[in-house]
Structure 1
Amino acid sequence: MSDHHGHHHTEEHLQSSDLLRDVVIGMSDGLTVPFALAAGLSGAVSTSGIIVIAGIAEIAAGGIAMGLGGYLAGKTEQDHYDSELKREYEEVERIPEKEKQEVKDFFESIGLSEELQNKATEEIAKDKKQWVDFMMKFELGLDMPDPKRARNSALNIGVSYIVGGIIPLSPYFFIENSKEALKFSVVATLICLFVFGYFKSKITGVPVLSGALKVMLIGALAAGAAYGVALLFK
């Protein structure tokens, strides 16, 4: 019973950390890229209509591209696990003594006595699936990925990007003058970048204040650079 509970807890923990990682990836780009684009266009055009159209197109394209990237990363992880699993099954069939020695070496490394090493190795080697699972986890350090991971990752990253992208763009929906809208966009986005940076730093264990300021500064620099380039070419 306790073992099942432990497994359930690990799975939940892994899934929640995967979700957080996806949201961080999607949001950080979603807040920064459309913000820089809108700022750049504000330096070149005076009406907000064009910026709204370009911004929506960018958010749609960016959301799809980021989601696809997340899907491919999840798929690669699954494919890598499957190929290693196949290889382990083949090795257990082909060179069982060598594989047994590897199991024994592991038990030796955690300080079991010779007698216990042999007993535990024989016990594990009785069941082929159990044996392979053991090798995957303790020899290769690979946990079985969630088969839905690729799809979930695509969705989480894509949606986070879109949510992030709407924030810098929203003032342009309501304010016709692009320079006016830009002021509100800057304030709203920098606040969101700061809050986002704060939570991102909390998750990753970086000092929260410097982490939040760093994320905010990167967004501000990107937008400032885009605005400057647009003015230059104008």
Structure 2
Amino acid sequence: MAPEDGWAVGRTTSSSSSPVATEKLLAQHKEKHFTAGDMVRDVIMGVSDGLTVPFALAAGLSGANAPSSLILTAGFAEVAAGAISMGLGGYLAAKSEADHYMRELNREQEEIITVPDTEAAEVGELLSQYGLEPHEYGPIVNSLRKKPQAWLEFMMKFELGLEKPDPRRALESAVTIAVSYVVGGMVPLLPYVFIPTALQAMFTSIGLTLVALLFFGYIKGRFTGNRPFLSAVQTAFIGALASAAAYALAKAVQAV
């Protein structure tokens, strides 16, 4: 009988069921998975905001004929404040995620102790969603009931969809976002360091920021598995729109 849903499954040999054969197969087959998704997300948040917000501030002040020295002072102050704010936001978000996980862990642990039959039934229901019949998932349920810690981890992952957070995640997220924001924020401000005329510096900043967005989008595409060139164009387009909107808002405020 052909596998369901068009899947083509390779034939399994009888020897592969032994522990030794399983270890040998796993040793021969090394999968490469991208495991730095959280860090990449933090870098994307930090660099994207760093490229956009200081650029809009500097461009808005340039339109008001402010000198480059004043723009640099305001820009550096904004980068410092933005890095602290973004880093703190990343820390609180990661800390809240860890607190939520612990609350759910304690609740699930209490349910396993107080209503084990109900929790076992939930395990069966979860496994049935993968097409397993009662006679197939019954031994799995009974095995989990003998291993409370494994049972608890199973419920957290498959019932609630929660992964155990890294205890260092909050601090790492804060530092990553803050540093990324500073790196991104320095790009649009760099022309104002070397060009005394604010208006000329602004046009140079526009070009430099677009190049940085293209480069950042390309690197992001490489890390996340997307098409790098498409990612570069999308990132530059979205970043340009965000920068233009922020610049227009700054000009509107100045006109009031």
Decide whether aligned partners of structure 1 residues 178 and 112 sit closer, same or farther in structure 2, where only a CA change above 3 A counts: same
Paired residue for 2:84, among 23, 40, 64? 64
After superposition, residues 159-198 of structure 1 pair within 5 angstroms as 159-198=179-218
1:151 match: 171
| TM-score (norm. length: structure 1) | 0.87
Task: Tell me, yes or no, if structure 1 residue 214 matches structure 2 residue 214.
Answer: no
What is the TM-score when the length of structure 2 is the normalising length?
A: 0.80
Q: CA deviation at 1:119?
A: 1.4
Q: Structure 1 segments of 4 or more deviating over 6 A? A: 2-5
The answer as to whether partners of 2:48 and 2:239 remain within 8 angstroms in 1 is no
- Shift in CA distance, 13/148, structure 1 to aligned 2, threshold 3 Å: farther
C-alpha distance after superposition, 1:11-60 (max 9, x if no partner): x833x111111111001100000000001111223421111111110000
**Aligned mates of 2:26, 2:81 — CA distance in 1:** 42
Aligned residues: 229
Q: Contact 2:210/2:236 (CA < 8 Å) preserved in 1?
A: no
Q: Equivalent residues in 2 for 1:95-106 (5 A)?
A: 95-106=115-126
CA–CA distance in structure 2, aligned partners of residues 137 and 220 of structure 1: 40
Contact 1:201 1:212 in 2 (8 A): no
User: C-alpha displacement at 1:120, in angstroms?
Assistant: 1.2
Paired residues for 1:109-120 under 5 Å: 109-120=129-140
One-letter amino acid matched to 1:157: I
CA RMSD after TM alignment: 2.7
**Aligned pair in 2 of structure 1 residues 230, 39: CA closer, same or farther (>3 Å)?**
farther
**The structure with more helix, counted as a fraction of residues:** 1
User: 1:34-73 alignment to 2 at 5 Å?
Assistant: 34-73=54-93
Q: From the superposition, tell whether residues 231 and 75 of structure 1 become closer, same or farther in structure 2 (CA, over 3 Å).
A: closer
* Percentage identity across paired residues of the two chains: 44
2:147 aligned with 1:127: yes
Which structure ranks higher in relative contact order (CA pairs < 8 Å, sequence separation ≥ 6)? 1
Give the gaps of 5 or more residues in structure 1: none
Amino acid at match of 1:212: T
C-alpha deviations, 1:158-194, integer Å up to 9, x for none?
1000000000001111222211211211111121123
Question: One-letter code of the match for 1:134?
Answer: F
Q: 2:53–2:243: 8 Å Cα contact kept in structure 1?
A: no
The structure-2 alpha-carbon separation of the partners of 1:210 and 1:181, relative to structure 1 and needing over 3 Å to count, comes to closer
Deviation at 1:199, TM superposition (A): 4.1
Distance 2:250 2:112 in 1: 61
Q: Which amino acid aligns with 2:129?
A: S
Is 1:13–2:34 an aligned residue pair? Answer: yes
Query: Which residue number in structure 2 is paired with residue 232 of structure 1?
Result: 255
1:110 deviation in Å? 2.2
Segments of 5+ residues of structure 2 without an aligned counterpart are 1-22
Answer with 1 or 2: which has the greater Rg: 2
Question: Does the alignment pair 1:140 with 2:140?
Answer: no
Higher alpha-carbon deviation: 216-225 or 189-198: 216-225
